[in-house]
Amino acid sequence: MSILELENVRIRNDADGRELVHGVSFALQPGGVVGIVGESGSGKTLTCRAALGILPEHFVVSDGRIRLDGQDVAGLTRRQWTALRGTTISAVFQDPASYLNPSLTVGSQIAEVIRVKRGAKRRAARERAIELLAAVRLRDPAVVYGQYPHELSGGMLQRSLIAAAIAAEPRVLIADEATTALDVTVQAEILDLLADLRRDTGLALVVVSHDLAVVAQLCERVLVMRAGEVVEQGRVEQVLHQPRHEYTRLLIEEHEAYGLERYLVAS
Ligand SMILES: Nc1ncnc2c1ncn2[C@@H]1O[C@H](COP(=O)(O)OP(=O)(O)OP(=O)(O)O)[C@@H](O)[C@H]1O
Ligand SMILES: [Mg+2]
């Protein structure tokens, strides 16, 4: 059974009546990886936010269906959503610093997730948080535990945020431009980390990126979005080697300079 399934999802801004996402469908199996690519403003983040139950104010899923672990999310109360977020579905976004409280240590924020979402005692939560910091390959995890966000580099912050996102053992992790702000080497390390988490824990991934090389490296299937429409979707090798849509061809041309081939050959 799919862990996350979107069926013809449409998203509308009720403040002005505009529809911004015009029908997105995909099914993600446990341990699967789907990519979403497309130009800025094409509706990638709104689609993810709908799956997380965190659409901006006035935005609604106006049609279609979202199923999380088999459950239709349409009727969920705020409290039920809160219980699912972190434990079933979780996310990391660009700009990790803005998701951490600058006045609390990184470790205590991860431990808090484990206490609240998993009901762990203080000491067990601390131990688990240090394990997680090690799992995201931060050196000296016990030291990092006690550091404040401003003491860490962008790459270390993003790793810490991934640790927080997986702390309550979700089944699905959405990475929305999660590596975009990082330099190329760090970006590659974080992508490796995500691939390993998927392999080792069966975590399913939704990877949003404007960078086709990122999607080529990580994903099995990909959706190409433009202006709220999915113009093309399918297996990564198929879509990136034999694009059917002119827009996909343009995206690929733009990315050839970044060495897309190298990832396709490896996958
Ligand atoms: N909070 C909001 N208020 C008003 N309009 C919004 C809001 N969030 C998104 N939109 C609009 O919805 C459309 C889709 O936005 P979305 O953020 O999903 O795009 P995106 O594909 O994630 O783009 P990017 O690659 O720049 O992140 C855009 O036209 C955007 O202006
Ligand atoms: Mg976005």
pLDDT tens digits along 28-47:
999 999 999 999 999 999 99
Is there a domain that residue 11 lies in? no
Number of structural domains the chain divides into: 1
In sequence order, which residues have a C-beta less than 8 Å from that of residue 220 and are 6 or more positions away? 32, 33, 34, 235, 236
Residue 267 has pLDDT above 50, yes or no: no
In-domain check, residue 49: no
Q: How many CB atoms lie within 10 A of CB 157?
A: 22
In a domain, residue 41? The reply is no
pLDDT for residue 38: 93
pLDDT at 266 > cutoff 90:
no
Residue 127: inside a domain: yes
Q: Which residue has the higher pLDDT, 175 or 256?
A: 175
Q: How would residue 9 be classed by pLDDT, with cut points 50, 70 and 90?
A: very high
Distance 198 CA to ligand 2 centre (A): 23
Following CA atoms 212, 215, 216, 220 in sequence, which dihedral angle do they give, to the nearest 10 degrees? Answer: -140
Confidence of residue 139 (pLDDT cuts 50, 70, 90): very high
Q: Tell me: the pLDDT tens digits for 164-206? A: 999 999 999 999 999 988 888 888 999 999 999 999 999 999 9
For ligand 1, atom 22, the nearest C-alpha belongs to: 45
* Assigned domain for 251 exists: no
**CB of 37 closer than 6 angstroms to any ligand 1 atom:** no
Predicted local confidence at residue 263, as pLDDT: 55
What the block records as the tokens of 92 is 């990391």
245, part of any domain: no
Structure letter (DSSP) for residue 206: E
Where does the pLDDT of residue 262 fall: very low under 50, low under 70, confident under 90, or very high at 90 and above?
Answer: low
The DSSP bridge partners found for residue 206 are: 34, 174
Residue 135's domain spans which residues? 100-169
Best probe residue, ligand 1, of 37, 40, 210 (max atoms within 8 Å of C-beta): 40
Atom 25 of ligand 1, nearest CA residue: 40
Q: Is residue 53 part of a domain?
A: no
Token pair of 40 as six digits: 């800025």
Residue 139 covered by a domain: yes
Dihedral pair phi/psi, residue 176, rounded to 5°: -100, 100
Residues 6+ apart with CB under 8 A from 200: none
User: Does the pLDDT of residue 257 top 80, yes or no?
Assistant: no
Where b means 16+ CB within 10 Å and e means fewer, 179-195 reads: bebbeeebbeebbebbe
Q: What is the mean pLDDT of residues 64-86?
A: 95
